[in-house]
């Protein structure tokens, strides 16, 4: 099992209302030199989080102690750019288990699920409601239920459903991954390869 299973998550969140947050911001390329999946959280949003002397930038949200939680809420087109899974590792390693946005880049979305992060795509209106709730109360909680496929702003009760295919949902609920599945059908794959 590659990651912990995901069922219901209730947590405060960290807002990042910026569009097109790309994977070079999530984890800059110069931090991709590890050969193990360790310590990437330290460099999450490195150049937004720290200045060139490695001092924390007080105006960046991750350095604001008012905001914390296991949910990251980002602007439209979150995770565009590179296929580096390190971006998802960094988010996971930092302590986030869920990213909410009104639109995700394709590869990032797939990578997230593969490492145990739930990407929750909501409508632009609902995303706006979340940001508004967090402006009012930085500790505003969100509840994400994978079995029900719903996301709720706890303080207002506003709720929306989100999409995930049944196979991936089952994987996340149980902490299974694709490699387990593929290993179980190796014979079928070998036959397919032979007949090509």
Partner 1 sequence: MSNSPKTLFDKVWDSHVVRQIADGPDVFFIDRHFIHEVTSPVAFLGLEQRGLGVLFPEKTFATADHNTPTINQHLPVEDPLSANQLLQLEKNTSKYGISHWGLGNPKNGIVHVVGPENGITLPGMTIVCGDSHTSTHGAFGAIAFGIGTSEVEMVLSSQCIMQPKPIKMRINVNGQLGKGVTPKDVALYIISKLSTSGATGYFVEYAGDVFENMSMEGRMTVCNLSIEMGARGGMIAPDQTTFDYIDGRELAPKGADWDKQLAYWKTLKTDSGSVFDKEITFLASDIEPMITYGTNPGMGMGISKNIPQAKDLEGGASSYAKSLDYMGFEENDSMIGKKVDYVFIGSCTNGRIEDFRAFASIVKGRKKADHVTAWVVPGSHVVEAQIHEEGIYDILTEAGFALRQPGCSACLAMNDDKIPAGKYAVSTSNRNFEGRQGPGSRTLLASPLVAAAAAITGVVTDPRQFL
Binding residues vs partner 1 (CB under 8 A): 2, 17-20, 22, 24-25, 28-30, 32-37, 47, 52, 75-77, 80-86, 88, 103-107, 110-111, 114-115, 165-168, 177-179, 181-183, 185-186, 188-190, 192-193, 196
CB of 141 to partner 1, least distance (A): 25
Q: Are 100 and 154 in contact (CB under 8 A)?
A: no
CB of 66 to partner 1, least distance (A): 20
Indicate the residue among 19 and 137 with the shorter CB distance to partner 1: 19
- Distance, in Å, from the CA atom of 16 to the CA atom of 127, rounded to the nearest integer, reads 11
Q: How far is the CB of 179 from partner 1 (least distance, A)?
A: 6
Which residue's CB is nearer to partner 1, number 156 or number 170? 170
Closer by beta carbon to partner 1, 93 or else 141: 93
Please report the sign of the dihedral spanned by the C-alpha atoms of residue 111, residue 117, residue 118, residue 120.
Answer: negative
Considering the complex, what minimum distance in angstroms separates the CB of residue 32 from partner 1?
5
How near is the Cβ of 147 to partner 1 at its closest, in Å?
Answer: 15
Nearer to partner 1, 3 or 67 (CB): 3
- Angle ∠(119,121,125) on CA atoms, nearest 5: 145
- The CB-of-126 to partner 1 minimum distance in angstroms stands at 16
Which CB atom, from 69 or from 74, has the smaller least distance to partner 1? 74
Smaller CB separation from partner 1, 149 or 155: 149
Helices (H) and strands (E) in the chain, counts: 8, 7
Nearest one of 63, 112, 74, 64 to 92, comparing CA atoms? 112
Distance linking the first and last C-alpha atoms of the chain = 32
CA–CA separation, 54 and 47 (whole Å): 9
**DSSP per position, 131-181:** HHHHHH-TT-EEEEETTTTEEEETTT--EEE----HHHHHHHHHT--HHHH
């Amino acid at each position: 099992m590659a990651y912990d299973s995901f069922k219901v998550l209730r947590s405060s969140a960290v807002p990042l209302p910026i569009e097109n947050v790309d994977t070079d911001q999530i984890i800059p390329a110069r931090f991709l030199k590890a050969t193990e999946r360790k310590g990437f959280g330290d460099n999450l949003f490195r150049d937004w989080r720290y200045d060139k002397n490695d001092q924390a930038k007080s105006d960046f949200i991750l350095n604001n102690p008012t905001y914390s939680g296991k949910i990251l809420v980002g602007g439209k087109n979150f995770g565009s750019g590179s296929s580096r899974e390190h971006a998802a590792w960094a988010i996971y390693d930092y302590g986030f288990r869920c990213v909410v946005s009104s639109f995700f880049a394709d590869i990032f979305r797939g990578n997230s699920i593969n490492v145990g992060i739930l990407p929750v795509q909501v409508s632009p209106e609902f995303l706006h409601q979340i940001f508004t709730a967090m402006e009012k109360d930085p500790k505003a909680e969100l509840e994400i239920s994978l079995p029900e496929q719903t996301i709720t702003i706890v303080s207002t009760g506003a709720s929306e459903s989100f999409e995930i295919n049944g196979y991936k949902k089952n994987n996340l609920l149980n902490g299974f991954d694709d490699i387990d599945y593929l290993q179980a059908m190796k014979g079928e794959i070998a036959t397919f390869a032979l007949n090509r």
